[in-house]
Structure 1
Amino acid sequence: MRDFGQRWIYEQLLVQQPQIETTGLWKTREGFVIVCPDLEQGLMTDDGRPIEKWVAERSALTASRVRLAKEPPHGAVQVPPRTLEESITLAGIPRTLQQLFVDLTLHLPKDFPNFKLTESTVAPGTLSFWFQRPLNEGEKQQLRSAFLATQLDLNYEIQIKPELDFQKESFKRAPQGDINLIPSRRLPQAFSLKARWLLEEDEQFWSDHRVGLLSKHNTNAKEYLPESWTSKESKCLVNSSVFPPQNLRTYLSIYEKVVLVGPLGGSSYDEILSALKVTEKELIELASLGRVSLILPQSLDRYPVKLISGLADQAPHSILLSRRLAAVTIADVRRRIPFLYPPVDAYERHLFLRDLGKILEQPTDFPSKRALQAIYPELKTIWSASEIVLQNLGAMGAGNLGIGPIVAALVKAVTGRDLFIEFHSSGAAVEWAAAIGAHINPAAVEGYSEEGQTEILCSFYSGMGKNTVDQLRHPVEALLDELLAIDNDAPVIEFATAFSSGEINRLRQLLSRMTETNPDPVFLNDAVRDFNKTVKAYERRAEKLKNFQVAALAGAFAALALPADSAIKQFVPLGVWFLGQLLVGSWAARGNLTGKFLDAIRGAPNLSQGDVVFISRLKKSLK
């Protein structure tokens, strides 16, 4: 009797319901048993349901029989939890047919014959693989190895269907809200061959690096970036996926490179191009020139076919696909908030959550209790689902697991307002910008702006008062103010190549170095003055100029200039604050935190200048 899905159920109990004492998962001839010594006391989940019902629901989901007992049955053998590597590779996790197809695509070599996966019509509970031709012995072994790696308690059969036409096989999605990443084997034929190759490369990158990324405390985001993305040129991230951005010339006049969050296909695409005041052809040419790059956090088939194919064919170095973007983001998040991706298994996560929960249940109050109570349920959700969310959603999944939901929970605890959707969207963009070393330009359209939540997120991501997180909006100050940007309709290719001079390059170099050096105010003022003179000489029509501002957490640079161990250091990232509370905070002595979790994240760094996330934004009007 195999124990694949049963171990997943047990680990979900450990992490999602850490308050319930258990002595393990046990295997008997009749099935599997989770032993809870206090079972007869009427154990309840954190939302007030009987634990028996909670386990039964998950047993039905996996078709795996698991029951609860007060003590191990006679002759039972204890089953160890999955290893961290097994969790990362999703061993034994219940999947839909769609998700299983994607997982098998990642496990199988790219030259493995294409196939269709369905349920057998003659053998209930059996999967059926359809191929156009018989497999040779080597291919059969590759399929066996890939299927065994999923650790699903299912059998499979092979059927030969010479008439099968894979060009007609689509990636079947749920009717609404399905943003799972499409596998390269199902990318529509309308995309170019080079676009398919880039997607295959992205899949292979994830297959090769996911275990190392999630099982070790690697915080070097550059290790996962393509070489073309590691240059120190000044960059600005503009979210053009949904909301119309500003004229692209406005950003190009200030930054050496503009990084767009790729616009989605459909009716909004033309609106995005119109707002940027460029054509699709011009956007591809700007990418070829190195002035524009695109990150593509969503499934590749959600983007315009001609745009993606053109970029893949003419400027493949300019695009960053979802899985690699996820890896880069995770590495950078670990530098700032190491507790979000702890490289420990489910049992170690359980020990930490159990002990922290006991401390938070104590009736006495302490300064950081409200904040920790807000973070606690988010950790349970994130830690119980991170591996499968990342596998299915890539960079969009990383956004679900990052700073956004954490800060949304803090905001709700302090203000009572539920702003999860707003902080989720803005939080992902802040993480992407930080990971690639770009300033972030918040979306702002008539009637809606992401500036407020972006400021809050950047301040938590860059640094915060080291004694409390209750002050949600940390002061943000302008480092470069009254910066003139151009908003005209000049030929964009000519503008991108010709708008350059000593004064312009001086400012752009200053922008690229702001994360490494403490800028001198006089030098900043002189650079802005000289830059603005050049801008006015290039564009003499005042109505074609706009005011731009680059801002950051107020006082952050003054604090960053202090020695790392300075007792008067004012700002620390959210992750370092959290670790400080665990080790030396006002409540640390109220209970014991056991296990390997603290050891795994203890190496969290202090805030450095490179950690500051800058906000670039358009001001209302010229003075």
Structure 2
Amino acid sequence: MPNKKLPTLERENQVTKFGFAKGYAQVSYERLLLIQPDFNFQGLWEKDGRYYIACSDIVTAITLDGTPLKEWFDQHCRVIAYQVDLIATPPPGATRLPARTVEQLSQLHGAPLNADQFYLEIKRQLPRNFPKFSIQDFPDKLVFTSIKPLDSDQITEANIAVANLGLDIETEFKTADITPLANAAQFVIYNGRTDWPTAVLDVHDESEQRWFDSRISLFTDVPTSADIRRDSGTACFIDCSLGTPGNIRNYLTTYSDIYIAPPLGDFEPLLKHLKITSSDLRTLIERRRVTLVLPHDLHKYDPKGLAEHLELCSSSVVMHRQLAVATIQESRRRNPLMYPPIDNESRRKLLDLMIGDAEHLDRKFLRIARDHYGASWSSLEADYSTMGAVAGLQHGSARLLAEMVSAATGQNLNPLLMYSTLSVEWSAALNANFCPTDAGGANIEAMATAAASFITGVPNKNFIDPITKLDTIISDLLVLDNTAPIHQVLDAFQAEEISRLNKILRDCNFDANVTNQYISDINERVRQFELIQKGAKKRDMLALAGALVPAALAGTTGGLGALAAWIPFGVYVAQRITADDDKKGSPVTDWLKAKNTFTTSETVFISRMRKRE
């Protein structure tokens, strides 16, 4: 944003006058509270337009890297442009300010935004038919420029949008023959849109608006209607940004619904790896066997080749905002500490409880968890609002697992492990099996299996054991590896039939006779194709379908060994926090106990589809 240099006192007076100061002070205080949980703070205070954070041991406070806390706060934490003083005691007559509420956090109230983010936040609050406009900022006002004059209602809507961000600043409205596109975000929205079909843009815009309309309920734990999953119970997720997929016929013979996340680059190689043509993919989309998932913002993808397929499935494509909502809801259900719908001072109380009763080996990993949660909570709502689904790299299980692996091995954080973990979380949000792709020398399957174990509590060493009870399925099910016409494959392996067969297995509790009949039915369809000796091989497969094996675990008690004793890491931490009788009655621990539920049937499974001669 352009700005005019002002003397320090005048600049601080303007920041105070126009409402930036309080929001910046709250953000700075709440960051400090969560990122530095080893120190005690006595709140945020205000007197005569200046803001103070009280820390009784500020004189001796040293961070883990040896930096005095006050210096660390000024260099790495405090929002620039306005001074917030870190002092031992608040000045006489000062007033203590509360932390931002959950609702204010969800609306980014007081959060510092760059030009792109600020423009998008304002635009999302305005009606879709609002005239094109740009925003320019000056030390004392915001200037909205549009091609035609705004009426009184539109001016009111713009002013309300500004106020919702916690700002009390003068606004000016003017017109120009050509609206200046002052920043990259506006350029993307107005100029980059020409590469995409109107139907795709409409779905994108609708998804953006739904995110804005629902994020208060999402971050305040009010039920949010954003279920993007199909109720087939036999779905898989293939994230092609991680590597190359296999022949799509492998998946069509077993899964009713196939979710595919396309690569960010050229779309054509994806079709070659799937061994289908563009026309085949259109058929699969029209038959609702394939759904495209976009974890990144639409404008980050290459429209060539992808645009026509998105237009075809515009009514069912999963945009990154929808995926973000579903991921937050699913992750919170599995781990109540991941996205707690409480204010930042209450979150700090959780951090204080997290390390108190830890001992020796546990302490190391609980401290990693505490530090991760604190850093995550300090920017949770803002990051998801500006980044969408990929914000999960920093806020979901992805970074937490990578931090723990790094601590155990002494190696740097593994970005591929982080992205694989996030992809597994997306798969869980879709209620689908995660199908690893081929990433060359990297073992995506091993990383994804570790991630699933971490998220759901199924230990690596026992991960396959319960599944081997279904020996017939693993050893005898045939798989296609040929180029049979897609329409023939669809006719032989209809989604309804796959769902019906899987339901039979679940209802009969995987009785051996019924299981054998299931295999016979599937293999009979495979044998309908010519050149079967060349095209059919045995499948070594972990987790036949998205709801199939979890149903097996839930429906049987014998032979599962110690599986029921395993719980997700997040639930383990939550139980450690709430285990101490001395902590009973705390509003924070009472909330956590109410949310801390887990059953072993809520398991994410990784599908191995390796062919065996």
TM over 0.5: yes
Which of 344, 349, 352 pairs up with 2:350? 352
Q: State the shift of 1:109 in Å.
A: 1.7
CA distance in 1, matches of 2:341, 2:607: 34
1:32-87 deviation digits (Å, cap 9, x = unpaired) = 111112222x2123433222223323676442221122212122222211111101
Match of 1:319, SS state, is coil
Q: Are the counterparts in 2 of residues 442 and 615 from structure 1 also a CA contact under 8 Å?
A: yes
**Partner in structure 1 of residue 215 of structure 2:** 210
- Show the counterpart of 1:405: 399
Match of 2:91 among 46, 51, 73: 73
Output the aligned Cα RMSD: 3.2
Give the match for residue 622 of structure 1.
612
Change (3 A) 1:332 1:422: same
CA contact (8 A) 2:124 2:208 kept: yes
Residue matched to 1:427 = 421
**Partner of residue 176, structure 1:** none
**Residue 146 of structure 2 aligns with which residue?**
131
Of residues 321-330 and 543-552 in structure 1, the stretch that sits farther from structure 2 once superposed is: 543-552
- Aligned 8 A contact 1:170 1:188 in 2: no
Distance 2:333 2:263 in 1: 29
> Among residues 476, 488, 493, which one is paired with 1:495 in the alignment?
488
Question: Which string of whole-angstrom CA distances, capped at 9 and with x for unpartnered residues, describes residues 372-429 of structure 1?
Answer: 1231211112111111111111111134311222222332333434453122211122
Q: Are the equivalent residues in 2 in contact too, given 1:439–1:613 (CA < 8 A)?
A: yes
Map of 2:434 onto structure 1: 440
TM-score of the aligned structures, taking structure 1 as reference length: 0.85
Give runs of aligned pairs for residues 384-395 of structure 1, distance below 5 A.
Answer: 384-395=378-389
Picking from 602, 608, 614, the partner of 2:593 is 602
Distance 1:140 1:452 in 2: 55
> What runs of 5+ residues in structure 2 fail to find an aligned partner?
1-15
Q: Map residues 310-325 of structure 1 onto 2, 5 A cutoff.
A: 310-325=308-323
Distance 1:140 1:433, change over 3 A: same
* Alignment CA distance shift 1:281-1:568 (3 Å): closer
Greater CA drift, 409-418 or 574-583? 409-418
Q: Work out the CA distance in 2 between the residues paired with 1:339 and 1:559.
A: 25
* The one of 520, 527, 541 aligned to 2:518: 527
Matches within 5 A, 1:163-174: 163-164=178-179, 171=185
> For residues 260 and 275 of structure 1, what CA distance do their matches in structure 2 show?
13
In structure 2, what is the equivalent of residue 109 of structure 1? Answer: 127
Match 1:36 to one of 40, 49, 55: 55
- Structure 1: segments with no counterpart, 5+ residues: 174-181, 466-471
Q: Deviation of residue 441 (structure 1)? A: 0.4
Look up the SS of the partner of 2:269 in the other structure.
helix
Shift of 1:154: 5.5
Distance in 2 between the 1:78 and 1:298 partners? 41
> Contact (CA 8 Å) 2:235, 2:258: kept in 1 or not?
yes
How do residues 47-62 of structure 1 correspond to structure 2 at under 5 angstroms? Answer: 47-57=65-75, 61-62=79-80
What is residue 613 of structure 1 aligned with on the other side? 604
Question: CA shift at 1:212, angstroms?
Answer: 1.0
- Give the AA of the match of 1:6: A
1:518 CA drift (Å): 4.6
**1:501-520, aligned counterparts within 5 Å?**
507-511=498-502, 518-520=509-511
CA–CA distance in structure 1, aligned partners of residues 400 and 422 of structure 2: 12
Work out the CA distance in 2 between the residues paired with 1:130 and 1:618.
Answer: 56
> Which deviates further from its counterpart, 526-535 or 603-612?
603-612
Any idea what SS the aligned residue of 1:614 has? Answer: coil
The alignment partner of 1:320 has SS state of coil
TM-score (norm 2): 0.86
Most deviating of 504-513 and 373-382 = 504-513
2:291 match: secondary structure = strand
- Which amino acid is the alignment partner of residue 163 of structure 2? L
* Counterpart for residue 252 of structure 1: 252
The counterpart of 1:481, out of the listed 451, 465, 474, is 474
Contact 2:291 2:313 in 1 (8 A): no
Q: Aligned equivalents of 1:392 and 1:98: distance in 2?
A: 9
After the TM superposition, list the runs of 4 or more consecutive aligned residues in structure 1 that deviate by more than 6 angstroms.
512-517, 553-556
Tell me by how many angstroms 1:262 deviates. Answer: 2.6
The aligned counterpart of 1:147 is 162
Tell whether the 8 Å contact from 1:458 to 1:614 is kept in structure 2 after alignment: yes
The alpha-carbon deviation at position 205 of structure 1 amounts to 1.2
Change (3 A) 1:200 1:326: same
CA distance in 2, matches of 1:304, 1:162: 32
Q: Distance in 1 between matches of 2:200 and 2:368?
A: 43
Which amino acid in the other structure matches residue 569 of structure 1? A
Q: CA deviation at 1:320?
A: 0.7
Rate the CA distance shift 1:539–1:335 in 2: closer, same or farther, 3 A. farther
Could you give the per-residue CA deviations for residues 413-458 of structure 1, whole angstroms, max 9, x where no partner exists?
3343445312221112211111222111012243222010111112
Could you say which residue in structure 2 is the equivalent of 1:237? 237
Deviation track 1:127-160 (CA, whole Å, cap 9, x = no partner) reads 4322112211111111111011112475544342
Deviates more, 1:439-448 or 1:140-149: 439-448
Q: CA deviation at 1:560?
A: 6.4
The alignment-based identity, stated in percent, is 26
Partner of 2:200: 195
